[in-house]
A and B are shown apart, each in its own frame.
Chain A
Amino acid sequence: MSEDDFEPKIVAFCCHYCAYTAADLAGSMRLQYPPNIRIIRLPCTGKVDVLHLLRAFEDGADGVYVAGCMEGDCHFINGNFRAKKRVQYAKKLLDEIGFGGERLEMFNMSAAMGTRFAEVAKEMVERIKKLGPSPIRGGKTKKDGDAL
């Protein structure tokens, strides 16, 4: 499959207080972003579990990201720092099994950042397009060599 006709499947775990509202704002601002993103709402990124991230990949997502409040702005004080740690841990797991940790990312944004929401979506789609389909969907693993 070439880079052009590969349409990545991406799951975004979004905090209710920021990224999820930013997505709404992006809509009200009529911003365009790739339709590859599917959102799962969480009360705070502090709720995200490594289990959820891995299940999304297992289900066939080519990329996954977690979008939480700006650092210091988490509505529940520090949930986004906990999420950051878990994402980093999951990235390491993905690297170890040759899946590629760069398929997973953590972003921070505020509810006012409709434009940033759209940017992140584009950024992630471009990144995953370069990486190609997930190994679960028949893509190459990192150990096969030239994934990037």
Chain B
Amino acid sequence: MVIVATGGEELKPDEYLYGKNERVMTQLEFEEHLVEEPQFSAAQKTVVMIQCVGSRNEERPYCSRVCCSTAVKNALRLKAKNPDAQVIVLYRDIRTYGLMEPYYREAREKGVVFVRYEPEDKPKVEERDGKLAIEFFEPTVRRRVTIYPDTLVLSSATIPRENEELALMLKVPRMADGFFLEAHIKLRPVDFATDGIYVCGLAHSPKNITESVAQAAAAAARAGTVLANDTISVGGVVAVVDEEKCAACLTCVRACPYSVPVINERGKAEIDPVKCHGCGVCAAECPGKAIQLQYFRDVQVLAKCDALYGKEEVAA
């Protein structure tokens, strides 16, 4: 039983002078300053935030989902400590979805300014005479505006934590962006196609804590359905040997990826149904057609072929 909950982290941006100018920081770093340094908030006259940094672009087409509400949350937090601070949020769309919308309204009421930018015309950030300059197009006054803030906060993308090795080990699929992929978006949202492995939280996709907790509860419940049993009945998809046909050629013994078939005291191949993983390799390789995989017996697969395009009498 495995629940994959390796989580995610904040992308370290490679644009907007991040890492080159100490006034430029991510939302998490900004939050840390707000909480840890008592003098920090009072010293902030003007703060600019840029949304969708590293998200919703060609490299990462997805929305990181937490950054809009994190920006609003941190803007309100600064306003609470220093009501005179001017906060300007440069955004593409504000996605304070669900019950987070009232915080957005509150931020507007408290004077946080929201200015929309187009992805083709991103804000320009540069150093001018030792100051940080942010230039952007202000659509209501239809003019390019330059602001010299004390701090520039980047709402950077949420990315999955390094998980390639784990994915290869468990043989579970990931999307191109590195988030784990569930067996079915609607029908099996916390399962992998592989039995006994489940997924939840940020490892699966960007989401806030409430959503992560709900998904974690779901994954735990799914695992519970298995753990609560005293005995487990293994799937019926196992290979069965017809001893009459078996010539003890050892092909299956060599072919099985899990070394399940053995030659028994009668000199015939024997497959332990509890150990068999049900891949069907032995059934396909057996030269004597002495092995059938239950539920995928040759007659069943052939009947499907016949039913699709074959003549009616063959299908019947």
Q: What is the interface of chain A, defined by CB distance below 8 A to chain B?
A: 9, 11, 16-18, 21, 24-25, 28, 38, 40, 42-44, 46-49, 51-52, 55-56, 58-61, 73, 75-79, 82, 86, 110-112
Contact = CB atoms under 8 A, between A and B. Distances in A.
B279 interface: yes
A56 B279 contact: no
B280 A59 contact: no
Interface in B210-246: 237
B87 interface: no
Contacts of B305: 11, 40, 52, 55-56, 59, 61
B279 A46 contact: yes
A48 B309 contact: no
B171 A59 contact: no
Contacts of B174: 112
Given A55-B302, A111-B181, A60 B284 contact: no
Nearest to A13: B301
B309 A79 contact: no
Contacts of B124: none
Interface of B: 168, 171, 173-176, 181, 183-186, 193-194, 237, 255, 257, 277-281, 283-285, 293, 296, 298, 301-302, 304-306, 308-311, 314
Contact of A79 (B168, B193, B281, B311): B281
A20 to B, nearest CB: 9
30 contacts: A9-B309, A16-B193, A21-B173, A21-B184, A25-B181, A28-B185, A43-B279, A43-B280, A44-B280, A46-B280, A49-B298, A52-B302, A52-B305, A55-B302, A55-B305, A56-B309, A59-B308, A59-B309, A59-B310, A61-B308, A75-B171, A76-B277, A77-B257, A78-B257, A79-B279, A82-B255, A82-B281, A86-B284, A112-B173, A112-B175
A44 B285 CA distance: 13
Q: What 4 pairs between A and B have smallest CB-CB spacing?
A: A47-B280, A76-B279, A59-B310, A77-B257
Contacts of A52: 298, 301-302, 305
Contacts of A42: 280, 296, 301
Contacts of A28: 184-186
A112 B176 CA distance: 8
A111 B308 contact: no
A76 B308 CA distance: 28
A24 B181 CA distance: 12
A123 B119 CA distance: 34
Nearest to A42: B296
B186 A47 contact: no
A56 B306 CA distance: 7
A48 B237 CA distance: 15
A43 B183 CA distance: 15
A76 B281 contact: yes
B43 to A, nearest CB: 47
B308 A49 contact: no
A77 B175 CA distance: 21
Contacts of A51: 298, 302
B173 A60 contact: no
Contacts of A79: 257, 279-281
